[in-house]
């Protein structure tokens, strides 16, 4: 087992837009930076490298990244913080101890799954997950796809799948036409967003889009054959090969919580410089509020510059950040999940896939902890990442306290002790400028 | 506000409190149970859930044996989610000294009528191929088992509630004594008998009890069905885990019905905080991998800690508290609370109602506590 130890002025966890921007900004200010990500390549969920690269938005940042001396550590999964200013991560060959002066958490977000009858049938998947699959070469040519859920992500995914040959049968947007109209008005000032929307409109020309509509049942024996959607008053059955669902994103806050960063309404609390309640630990991107790529990039730059000791560079971005935050607030209002979605899970619907726990087995309990103890909901290998947000929406339960390991980890690495580590670089830590 | 009147009020809805409620209600007593949290939310949720016979002392043996028999009688009624699995225990001997202990244990258990089998290295390799090669032998105790404690506690409480027991969860008890119990919100309960089954919190309610917190760590893995088939325990367990003062770790791995592996164990006096201690965890897992090398590559999904209610002589406190005869204790079960809960409830109700008990209850009487306090000091 090759255990190792590394030291950085600024350590960035997460290689999506926020993390890339933070790492690049800190490094351009002269800090010695490490960038870790648990995926095999940088890019995060949104800029996931496919067979054709990261996509145009990412290219500029990858270029800047390559011009710096940032140490990139992909396939590195942080699972614990055994002591202050130090993280433990699992790598293929063993355990890595990461020491830092300043830390930027850019842990991103994941998709929220809402349980409904048939949601566990093969080929019912997250909208982002299906897109990622296609990016890695999975063929969808001539496949009939229904895209359902809420928010601009649905349109982006539908456009992407269509571009790759899929036949988009329907896009179901749960938000009402009225809230969509209000949203359109509220974003009039944000020219970029509108241009983006218009271009998607061209790519989705002729695709059926219905507002105030959501899936109620997925059908199929072995694999998906059809989906029943509700348009409020009436039901409609649509034959399809894939159902791509996207019911908003859930911030990944487990690592910030483990480090003691204060959360508010499920998001990491930060100050103007993206610093969390724990001094020296910054947070950028979706964990501080779902805001998309542009806001993540700005927040990443603010955090990276501040962590490297260049507060004035951070301050120059405050105006742009404020504008983008207003946009994300408008999104939150327009695409809030409607209460009818709480009714689509039937008593026998599985809520926890790891432990096969049905909705009816959860209903008698008053808290997630109680339900977990009695039904094992959330006790499987996903550690409640899927069913936690689902029960939060369905039953109003708040998440449990966070304990290491925050990701499943090999027993040999969980048990590896600090004294077993071989220091790979024993230079004295340099303080930030 | 007038007091609610019961025959017995039980503080604590862990496995011991639930078993006491179950037994009291079977004897026709009017019972209320109060807990600060949920059913089985304390040590019951944190423990391994073994139903084992142990022989640190004759009294420990008598209680564990009696209770295991009671679990076996109850087994047909247990719902599926209690996951009772009679997997048996194998005590693993790594050297001749430990093999001597195997033979001693074999003679003791056989004499008491517990079925046991001495295993040679070939047997061990055949029964548990993932154990490190070169074991000297072992002792198989086929009647030992494991279960999932939170659901077992809930089952006992469900049964009790079906017979009229009232359950008050998420209630803080402010004070007990002289047949009265006060909740923090001002509610009063009045009963001839108040059972303090509050586990590690018992001494906060009844000062002077010789119960101390003894911290433990556990790890659970993803599903590896058949990786081990029996509960595996090292015999060093006898030397290290039972050392009354020093921190210790011991190899103890259980196969769960889900195919998961539950890895223990550690014992520490002193720490009051729930945080995982990386050094203790490291030593514990090192020990486990020493016995099961292939464990290294398995995926650990959760780590947690809990506190056992430990007494200096490793025997629980069951019976009236000498300074206040309205208070009965049912605590101090250390790492054997799941096993001994049912027998505890029997002996407690035997004393409350004046029934004849199946085994002598004297070794567990809290009145021995005066001498225990000295032992702690």
pLDDT digits (tens, 9 = 90+) for A287-318: 999 998 999 999 999 999 999 999 999 999 99
pLDDT confidence of residue A90:
96
A361 domain-assigned:
yes
pLDDT confidence of residue A317:
97
| Best CA proximity match to B119, nearest among B87, B144, B89, B148 | B89
A153 touches chain B (CB under 8 A): no
- A11 and A91 belong to one structural domain: yes
- Cβ separation of B281 and A383 shorter than 8 Å? no
Q: Are strands B324-331 and A249-251 parallel, antiparallel or unpaired?
A: unpaired
Q: What percent of chain A lies above the pLDDT cut of 70? A: 91
- On chain A, the residues whose CB falls within 8 A of the CB of B45 are 373
- A105 and A221 belong to one structural domain: no
B184 touches chain A (CB under 8 A): no
A317 domain-assigned:
yes
| Best CA proximity match to B34, nearest among B151, B178, B201, B149 | B201
Indicate the SS3 state at residue A367. Answer: coil
Of A375, A380, A411, the CB nearest to B285: A411
Q: What percent of chain A lies above the pLDDT cut of 90? A: 70
CA A11/CA A89 separation, integer angstroms: 13
- Cβ separation of B289 and A380 shorter than 8 Å? no
- A124 and A144 belong to one structural domain: yes
Indicate the SS3 state at residue A263. Answer: strand
- Cβ separation of A412 and B263 shorter than 8 Å? no
H or E element: which one contains A6?
strand A4-13
B273 touches chain A (CB under 8 A): no
CA A123/CA A144 separation, integer angstroms: 11
Shortest Cα–Cα distance, B153 to chain A (Å): 10
- A15 and A153 belong to one structural domain: no
- Cβ separation of A383 and B286 shorter than 8 Å? no
H or E element: which one contains A200?
helix A191-203
Per-residue pLDDT tens digits for B320-329: 999 999 999 9
A129 domain-assigned:
yes
CA B358/CA B361 separation, integer angstroms: 9
- A238 and A265 belong to one structural domain: no
Q: Are strands B117-119 and B145-146 parallel, antiparallel or unpaired?
A: unpaired
A96 domain-assigned:
yes
- A294 and A388 belong to one structural domain: no
φ and ψ at residue A171, rounded to 5 degrees: -110, 120
**Boundary of a domain, candidates A247, A271, A295:** A247
Of B154, B278, B300, the CB nearest to A82: B278
Helix ranges, chain B (H): 15-26, 43-46, 58-74, 96-111, 121-127, 149-162, 202-205, 236-240, 278-291, 337-353, 369-376
B289 touches chain A (CB under 8 A): yes
- On chain A, the residues whose CB falls within 8 A of the CB of B285 are 411-412, 414-415
- On chain A, the residues whose CB falls within 8 A of the CB of B282 are 415-417
CA B252/CA B242 separation, integer angstroms: 14
**Boundary of a domain, candidates A247, A276, A294:** A247
Confidence of residue A114 (pLDDT cuts 50, 70, 90): very high
* Cα B182 to Cα A220, A253, B179, B186, B192, distances in angstroms: 58, 40, 10, 6, 14
- Cβ separation of B301 and A414 shorter than 8 Å? no
- Cβ separation of A415 and B299 shorter than 8 Å? no
Nearby residues of A261 by Cβ (< 8 Å), 6 or more positions away: A105, A268, A269, A276, A277, A278, A281, A283
- On chain B, the residues whose CB falls within 8 A of the CB of A381 are 222, 299, 301
- Cβ separation of B300 and A414 shorter than 8 Å? yes
- On chain B, the residues whose CB falls within 8 A of the CB of A82 are 278
Tokens of B139: 């002792």
Does position A322 have pLDDT exceeding 90, yes or no? yes
**What is the residue range of A222's domain?**
113-247
Judged by average pLDDT, the poorest of A55-59, A152-156, A256-260, B170-174 is A55-59
- A240 and A135 belong to one structural domain: yes
- Cβ separation of A412 and B297 shorter than 8 Å? yes
Question: How many folded domains does chain A comprise?
Answer: 3
* Cα A126 to Cα A112, A130, A150, B36, distances in angstroms: 8, 6, 12, 40
- A320 and A355 belong to one structural domain: no
Tokens of B146: 């494991």
The answer to whether A401 touches A262, Cβ cutoff 8 Å, is no
Average pLDDT rounded to a whole number, residues A271-282: 98
Confidence of residue A189 (pLDDT cuts 50, 70, 90): low
- Cβ separation of B298 and A410 shorter than 8 Å? yes
pLDDT confidence of residue B196:
98
| Nearest residue in A to B169, CA atom | A366
Of A370, A415, A418, the CB nearest to B289: A415
A33 domain-assigned:
yes
CATH for A218:
3.50.50.60
- A224 and A210 belong to one structural domain: yes
- A243 and A290 belong to one structural domain: no
- Cβ separation of B300 and A411 shorter than 8 Å? yes
Shortest Cα–Cα distance, A150 to chain B (Å): 32
B285 touches chain A (CB under 8 A): yes
- On chain A, the residues whose CB falls within 8 A of the CB of B298 are 410-411
- Cβ separation of B301 and A404 shorter than 8 Å? no
Domains of chain B from N-terminus onward: 4-47+149-210+314-376 (3.50.50.60), 86-143+212-310 (3.30.9.10)
Shortest Cα–Cα distance, A121 to chain B (Å): 22
Residues of chain B with pLDDT below 50 are 241-242, 374-377
**Boundary of a domain, candidates A197, A224, A247:** A247
- A174 and A194 belong to one structural domain: yes
* Residue A16 C-alpha from the chain's centroid: 9
φ and ψ at residue B5, rounded to 5 degrees: -110, 125
CA A343/CA A230 separation, integer angstroms: 12
The answer to whether A293 touches A152, Cβ cutoff 8 Å, is no
| Best CA proximity match to B257, nearest among B233, B285, B228, B232 | B228
Per-residue pLDDT tens digits for A191-239: 565 556 555 777 888 899 999 999 999 999 989 999 999 999 899 999 9
| Nearest residue in A to B301, CA atom | A408
A195 domain-assigned:
yes
Average pLDDT rounded to a whole number, residues A380-395: 90
- A241 and A125 belong to one structural domain: yes
A432 domain-assigned:
no
Please count the residue pairs, one from chain A and one from chain B, whose beta carbons lie less than 8 angstroms apart: 83
| Best CA proximity match to B179, nearest among B193, B197, B198 | B193
Per-residue pLDDT tens digits for A173-186: 999 998 888 887 77
Confidence of residue A429 (pLDDT cuts 50, 70, 90): very low
A433 domain-assigned:
no
Neighbouring C-alpha atoms within 13 Å toward the C-beta of A404: 27
B286 touches chain A (CB under 8 A): yes
């Amino acid at each position: 087992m090759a255990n190792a130890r590394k030291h950085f002025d600024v350590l960035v966890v997460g290689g999506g837009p926020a993390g890339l921007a933070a790492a690049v900004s800190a490094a351009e200010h002269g800090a010695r930076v490490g960038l870790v990500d648990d995926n095999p390549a940088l890019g995060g969920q949104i800029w996931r490298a496919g067979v054709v690269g990261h996509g145009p938005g990412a290219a500029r940042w990858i270029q800047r990244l390559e011009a710096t001396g940032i140490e990139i550590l992909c396939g590195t999964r942080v699972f614990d913080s055994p002591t202050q200013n130090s993280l433990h991560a699992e790598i293929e060959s063993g355990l890595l101890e990461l020491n830092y002066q300043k830390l930027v958490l850019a842990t991103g977000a994941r998709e929220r799954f809402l349980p409904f009858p048939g949601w566990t049938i093969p080929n019912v998947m997250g909208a982002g997950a299906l897109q990622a699959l296609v990016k890695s070469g999975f063929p969808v040519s001539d496949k009939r796809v229904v895209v359902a859920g809420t928010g601009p992500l649905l349109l982006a995914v539908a456009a992407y799948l269509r571009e790759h040959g899929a036949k988009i049968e329907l896009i179901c947007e749960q938000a009402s036409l009225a809230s969509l109209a209000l949203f359109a008005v509220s974003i009039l000032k944000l020219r970029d967003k509108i241009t983006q929307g218009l271009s998607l409109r061209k790519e989705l020309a002729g695709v059926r889009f219905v507002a105030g509509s959501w899936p109620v049942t997925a059908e199929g024996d072995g694999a998906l054959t059809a989906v029943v959607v509700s348009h409020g008053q009436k039901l409609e059955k649509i034959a399809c090969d894939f159902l791509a669902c996207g019911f908003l994103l859930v911030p990944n806050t487990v690592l910030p919580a483990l480090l003691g960063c204060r959360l508010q309404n499920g998001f990491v609390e930060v100050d103007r410089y993206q610093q969390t309640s724990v001094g020296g630990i910054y947070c950028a991107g979706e964990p501080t509020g779902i805001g998309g790529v542009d806001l993540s990039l700005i927040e990443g730059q603010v955090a990276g510059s501040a962590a490297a000791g260049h507060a004035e560079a951070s301050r120059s971005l405050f105006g742009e950040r404020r504008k983008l935050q207003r946009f994300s607030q408008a999104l939150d209002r327009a695409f809030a999940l409607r209460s009818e979605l709480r009714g689509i899970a039937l008593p026998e619907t599985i809520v926890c896939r790891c432990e096969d726990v049905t909705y009816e087995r959860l209903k008698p309990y008053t808290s997630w902890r109680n339900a977990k103890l009695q039904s094992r909901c959330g006790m499987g290998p996903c550690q409640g990442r899927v069913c936690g947000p689902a029960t939060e929406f369905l039953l109003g339960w708040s998440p449990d306290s966070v304990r290491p390991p925050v990701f499943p980890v090999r027993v040999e690495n969980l048990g590896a002790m600090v004294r077993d580590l071989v220091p790979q670089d024993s230079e004295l830590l340099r303080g930030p400028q | 506000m007038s007091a609610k009147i019961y025959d017995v009020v039980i503080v604590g809805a862990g496995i011991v409190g639930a078993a006491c409620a179950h037994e009291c209600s079977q004897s026709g007593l009017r019972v209320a149970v109060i807990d600060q949290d949920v059913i089985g939310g304390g040590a019951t949720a944190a423990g391994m859930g073994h139903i084992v016979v142990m022989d640190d002392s004759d009294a420990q043996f008598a209680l564990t044996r009696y209770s295991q028999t009671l679990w076996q009688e109850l087994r047909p009624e247990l719902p599926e989610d209690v996951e009772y699995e009679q997997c048996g225990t194998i005590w693993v001997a790594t050297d001749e000294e430990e093999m001597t202990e195997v033979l001693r244990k074999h003679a003791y258990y056989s004499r008491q009528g517990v079925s046991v089998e001495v295993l040679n290295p070939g047997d061990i390799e055949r029964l548990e191929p993932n154990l490190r090669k070169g074991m000297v032998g072992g002792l198989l105790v086929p009647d030992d088992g494991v279960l999932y404690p939170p659901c077992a506690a809930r089952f006992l409480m469900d049964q009790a509630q079906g017979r009229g027991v009232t359950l008050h969860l998420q209630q803080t008890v402010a004070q007990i004594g002289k047949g009265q119990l006060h909740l923090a919100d001002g509610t009063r309960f009045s009963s001839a008998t108040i059972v303090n089954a509050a586990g590690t919190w018992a001494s906060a309610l009844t000062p002077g009890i010789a119960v101390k917190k003894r911290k433990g760590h556990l790890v659970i893995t993803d599903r590896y069905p058949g990786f081990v088939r029996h509960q595996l325990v090292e015999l060093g367990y006898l030397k290290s885990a039972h050392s009354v003062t020093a921190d210790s770790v011991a190899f103890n791995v259980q196969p769960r019905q889900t195919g998961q592996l539950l890895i223990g164990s550690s014992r520490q006096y002193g720490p009051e905080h729930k945080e995982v201690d990386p050094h203790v965890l490291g030593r514990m897992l090192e020990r486990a991998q020493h016995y099961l090398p292939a464990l290294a590559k398995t995926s650990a999904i959760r780590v947690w800690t809990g506190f056992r209610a430990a007494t200096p002589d490793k025997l629980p406190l069951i019976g009236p508290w000498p300074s206040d005869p309205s208070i009965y204790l049912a605590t101090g079960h250390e790492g054997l609370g799941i096993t001994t809960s049912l027998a505890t409830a029997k002996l407690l109700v035997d004393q409350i109602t004046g029934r004849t008990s199946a085994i002598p209850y004297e070794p567990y009487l809290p009145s021995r506590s005066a001498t225990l306090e000295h032992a702690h000091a």
